[in-house]
């Protein structure tokens, strides 16, 4: 029992600190802190920061450091958003370069014309019927009262019937929705799930809905679309369909984003091992380079997903039990916590139960001795930086989905400091050779509970957030160092007392 406590004394210490911080916050702000929604949100953000903390702990255990984690989170988040950029193109969209009002003719820019005689179009908020289609021009039946103004036109359709909402709810991205059906005249073979349905009424603003499914029947098209429960859908004068397209498939976008992260980790490892550069310098330069790349690639413009990818966002914003059972619970397990539990379990097994984990710890304790023992130290260093960047890339995807927007100049800023602080507070020595995955996860929880306490407790100025967190971390590190020195002194004292004892059973007297 004593050996077990001695082995996990650092973990027990940080667990005690977490209990103290939670108890203090609960006592000072019980109504806010103990709410299920607040606890669930704290657990969610603990998991997100815990993922990058687990990753950087491998680098720290080798005696290295990674200061680029926040910039990697920002860059990978921007890459993901760019890869998943979504556009909607209205059916039959074409630009009008000139309007000849007397002849009711619209002259079009060069390009393919996909509308035909008899179709209806919308042009500068006018609904027009096409009489004749010729080479790059259209003649319409109605008087064109837009003067010489130009713009774009697109095809619209006549509605036949709008059904009441279906009583059975459906969930889209974790939100409850109802299905309604709009029957249109004609067969729209190009319309498909995910397209945008725009209802244009006689009076008032247009409404936009996402298409759920499409059925062609007897020369008509039945379009099922998502609507909020009880939402009023205006009586449509005409309806427009816009086709949805995204830059890359979702799975490919995830692979691209993670590949960028792994490539960064591999580059760091090679520069440190083959180039013999200091980890501090390499990752500090990376911090600046990746932030600059993110701003350059995006034109320093905010990136995001808007209302797109509701199902994909549930990977970060969803709750485990609700996704598993389809029912809501008063308190649920955030999905990021599930990922952290899996990642931490794999990392702990890798570190404590495999030879590669022992190699990493041996490398951190004494690199030269590890090399003489036959360990490929360079490979272990590269592996640790790849693991760190992979975890940063995984967290970047989850952060981007959770926040739904990425500001290239600020997204992920200071995240590396939170990760390093959690790793050190959780038992990883900056000298290398020591570390506990469980301790790192608990330390990440301490960081987020502290952040939560500062925001909830009256009388604490939120501008002191970084100062308070820094002081707590400093105190934790000082206590850890004092305990380490005390343990070293006790060990030295015991060794000294053992050497002073006389060996028994030896007789040096002569006969």
- Sign of torsion over alpha carbons 402, 408, 411, 415: positive
- What CA–CA distances, in Å, run from 194 to 172, 208, 265, 310? 12, 12, 36, 11
- The residue among 284, 240, 299 whose CA lies nearest residue 82 is 299
Strand, helix or coil for residue 223: strand
- Which residue matches tokens 């739904």? 404
How far apart are the C-alpha atoms of 4 and 389, rounded to whole Å? 33
- 223 touches 181 (CB < 8 A): yes
CB atoms within 10 A of CB 490: 10
Degrees, nearest 5: CA angle 505-509-511 = 120
Per the structure block, which two tokens stand in for 295?
A: 């701003």
Alpha helices in 182-309 (DSSP H): 250-273, 279-297
CB-based burial label for 239 (10 Å; 0-12, 13-18, 19+): buried
Instruction: Give the pTM.
Output: 0.86
Instruction: Look up residue 388 and give its two tokens.
Output: 């760190």
Q: Which CATH number fits domain 2-85+249-490: 2.60.40, 3.10.450, 2.60.120, 1.10.3470?
A: 1.10.3470
Give helix 377-403 / helix 355-365 axis angle, nearest 10°.
100
Separation between Cα atoms, residue 470 and residue 302, nearest integer Å = 30
Any idea of the CA torsion for 242, 248, 251, 256, to the nearest 10 degrees? -150
What does each of the 511 residues of the chain score in pLDDT, given as a tens digit? 555 555 567 788 888 889 998 999 999 888 899 899 999 999 999 999 999 999 999 999 999 999 999 999 999 999 999 999 999 999 989 998 888 888 888 989 877 778 888 899 999 888 999 999 987 889 999 888 877 678 889 999 999 888 888 888 888 877 788 999 999 988 888 889 999 999 999 888 899 999 999 999 888 999 999 999 989 998 889 999 999 999 999 999 999 999 999 999 999 999 999 999 999 999 999 999 999 999 999 999 999 998 888 888 888 888 888 888 877 888 889 999 999 999 999 999 999 999 999 999 999 988 889 898 899 999 999 999 999 999 999 999 999 999 998 999 999 998 998 999 899 888 888 888 888 999 999 999 999 998 898 888 887 887 887 887 778 778 767 876 787 788 778 888 888 777 776 555 555 544 4
Secondary structure class of 220 (helix, strand, coil) = strand
Q: Is 176 left (phi over 0), alpha (psi -120 to 50) or beta?
A: beta
Strand-pairing partners, residue 284, are none
Q: How many residues make up the chain in this entry?
A: 511
pLDDT, tens digit, 9 for 90 and up, residues 448-502: 998 898 888 887 887 887 887 778 778 767 876 787 788 778 888 888 777 776 5
Helices (H) and strands (E) in the chain, counts: 16, 16
Q: How many CB atoms lie within 10 A of CB 385?
A: 31
Q: Which CATH number fits domain 87-156: 2.20.110, 2.40.10, 1.10.287, 1.10.10?
A: 2.40.10
Distances (CA, A) of 145 to 95, 124, 150, 238, 240: 17, 10, 12, 19, 21
Contact 303, 408 (CB under 8 A): yes
CB atoms within 10 A of CB 22: 19
Domain spans of the chain?
Answer: 2-85+249-490, 87-156, 159-246
């Amino acid at each position: 029992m004593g050996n077990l406590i001695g082995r996990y004394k650092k973990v027990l210490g940080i667990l005690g600190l977490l209990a103290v911080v939670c108890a203090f916050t609960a006592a000072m702000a019980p109504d806010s802190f103990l709410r299920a929604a607040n606890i669930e949100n704290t657990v969610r953000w603990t998991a997100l920061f815990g993922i990058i903390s687990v990753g950087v702990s491998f680098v720290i255990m080798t005696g290295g450091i990674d200061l680029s984690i926040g910039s990697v989170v920002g860059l990978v988040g921007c890459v993901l958003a760019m890869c998943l950029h979504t556009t909607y193109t209205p059916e039959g969209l074409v630009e009008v370069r000139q309007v000849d009002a007397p002849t009711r003719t619209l002259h079009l820019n060069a390009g393919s014309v996909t509308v035909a005689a008899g179709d209806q179009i919308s042009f500068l908020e006018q609904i027009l019927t096409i009489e004749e289609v010729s080479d790059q021009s259209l003649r319409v039946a109605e008087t064109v009262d837009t003067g010489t103004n130009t713009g774009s036109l697109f095809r619209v359709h006549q509605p036949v019937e709008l059904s009441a909402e279906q009583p059975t709810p459906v969930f889209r991205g974790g939100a409850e929705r109802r299905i309604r059906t709009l029957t249109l005249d004609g067969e729209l073979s190009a319309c498909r799930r995910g397209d945008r349905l725009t209802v244009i009424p006689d009076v008032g603003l247009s409404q936009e809905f996402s298409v759920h499914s499409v059925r062609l029947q007897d020369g008509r098209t039945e379009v099922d679309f998502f609507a909020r429960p009880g939402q009023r859908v205006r009586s449509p004068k005409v309806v427009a369909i816009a086709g949805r397209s995204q830059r890359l498939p979702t799975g490919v976008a995830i692979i691209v984003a993670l590949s960028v992260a792994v490539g960064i980790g591999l580059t760091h490892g090679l520069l440190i091992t083959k180039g013999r550069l200091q980890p501090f310098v390499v990752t500090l330069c990376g911090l600046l380079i990746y932030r600059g790349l993110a701003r350059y690639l995006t034109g320093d413009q905010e990136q995001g997903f808007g209302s797109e990818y509701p199902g994909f966002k549930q990977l970060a914003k969803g709750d485990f039990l609700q996704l598993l059972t389809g029912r809501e619970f008063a308190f649920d397990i955030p999905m990021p916590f599930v990922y952290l539990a899996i990642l931490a379990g794999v990392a702990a097994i890798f570190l404590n139960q495999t030879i590669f984990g022992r190699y990493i710890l041996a490398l951190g304790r004494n690199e030269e001795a590890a090399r003489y023992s036959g360990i490929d130290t360079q490979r272990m260093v590269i592996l640790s930086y790849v693991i760190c960047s992979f975890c940063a890339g995984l967290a970047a995807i989850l952060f981007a989905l959770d926040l739904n927007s990425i500001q290239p100049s600020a997204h992920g800023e200071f995240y590396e400091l939170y990760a390093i602080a959690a790793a050190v507070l959780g038992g990883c020595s900056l000298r290398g050779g020591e570390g506990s995955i469980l301790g790192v996860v608990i330390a990440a929880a301490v960081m987020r509970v502290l952040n939560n306490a500062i925001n909830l407790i009256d009388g604490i100025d939120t501008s002191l957030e970084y100062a308070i967190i820094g002081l707590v971390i400093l105190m934790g590190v000082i206590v850890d160092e004092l305990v380490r020195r005390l343990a070293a002194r006790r060990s030295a004292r015991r060794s000294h007392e053992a050497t002073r004892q006389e060996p028994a059973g030896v007789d040096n007297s002569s006969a």
